[in-house]
Copies of this chain bind each other. A is one copy, B any other.
Amino acid sequence: MVNVGIIGATGYAGEELIGILLKHPGARLADISAKIDQPRPIGKFFPKFAGRIDLVCAEPDIKKINNTCDLVFLALPHTVSLRIAPKLLSAGKRVIDLSADYRLKDAKVYEKFYQLKHTDSGRLSEAVYGLPEIYRAKIKSARLVANPGCYPTAGILALSPLLALGLAETGAVIIDAKSGVTGAGRKLAEGFLFSEINEDFRAYKVNFHQHAPEIDQELSKLAGKKIKVTFVPHLLPLSRGILETIYVKRAQSAPFGGVPRQARGSARGKQRKAQNLIKLYKRFYQKEPFVRIREEGDFPRIKDVAGTNFCDIGIKDCGDSVIIIAAIDNLLKGAAGQAVQNMNIMCGFPEETALL
């Protein structure tokens, strides 16, 4: 039985963490805390948990947390994790940080995009980027896991096979991303009021969102060369879910799926190619419990993954280009679900525990 703490329990990701961990047979919620005015039972914050959990949520008391927990989830705004994680780590606790603070390996990039000094850059090399599909082995023994951002999770999973295999032109990757509103956290800003979001749809941070360098970092590693994606996020009038529509040019020298050029043009050739790309994706992810590849002509909807920890991916091979559509639940595979998936890996539980 692992004793688990959640710091930042009153946000959307914290709420999901509580819900998942209440179902987890191997984890015991030992401490729940958040920046709040006064301590209250967690069932008062989230009446849906009333009667199911007795813990009182109070301001985080690091000493108490270190005394009662083996592993701590930080569901905090960025920069706050920077102040708290070191105190837990130095007490020998394992930490899964859902903020952006330890995701970017280059502190300068962090400082550019978050407009803040990185105060714990010494730990960046130790921190493991918590995308199990790529870093499972390292996660197993990690002390500090940097849980990926929601947009990067979908984008990296959608693009990894193409880039790892050198099939895409690295200079022309476009991610048109759409997210539900919980992606922004429980942020008290006019733009997130119901009457502003409802019946509206808008782009924001057009090509300068802070998740872009996170995607760039991981795709560049996979491709073995510097990649800078074009990334435009949009805000959907719905609560949870991300769908990314991704446009890629095929690499000039390497025909997708190894299909000979002469086969192209004919309908049969096209079908074969698509099958090949899909087959290639299926093979790439064949052992992954939470990545599902769609058949040809079939694309994921947000509804297919909402409330689940899956990332569903559909692929359209257009010959010289490829369109990839990926969907996740931003609060699960994009945050709390992936965090528990990481915990399961770290603690030796079956990876799906409490996630199906």
Contacts and interface: CB of A to CB of B under 8 A. Distances in A.
B50 A292 contact: yes
A255 to B, nearest CB: 19
A325 interface: yes
A48 B301 CA distance: 10
B192 A230 contact: no
A239 interface: yes
A268 interface: no
Interface stretch (A84-92, A108-116, A202-210): A202-210
A121 interface: no
A202 B237 contact: no
Given A47-B304, A305-B48, A199 B230 contact: no
A241 B198 CA distance: 12
Nearest to A184: B195
B245 A232 contact: yes
Nearest to A46: B304
A303 B188 contact: no
B238 A237 contact: yes
Q: Is the interface on chain A under 10, 10 to 19, 20 to 34, or 35 or more residues?
A: 35 or more
A54 interface: no
A331 to B, nearest CB: 10
B198 A194 contact: yes
Interface in A292-318: 292, 294, 299-308, 310, 312, 314, 316, 318
Interface in A2-55: 12, 22-23, 47-48, 50-52
A23 B300 CA distance: 23
Given A48-B308, A181-B194, 6 more contacts: A23-B356, A188-B190, A198-B198, A206-B299, A207-B323, A230-B318
Interface of A: 12, 22-23, 47-48, 50-52, 174, 176, 178, 181-182, 186-190, 192-203, 206-207, 230, 232, 234, 236-241, 243, 245, 247, 292, 294, 299-308, 310, 312, 314, 316, 318, 321, 323, 325, 356
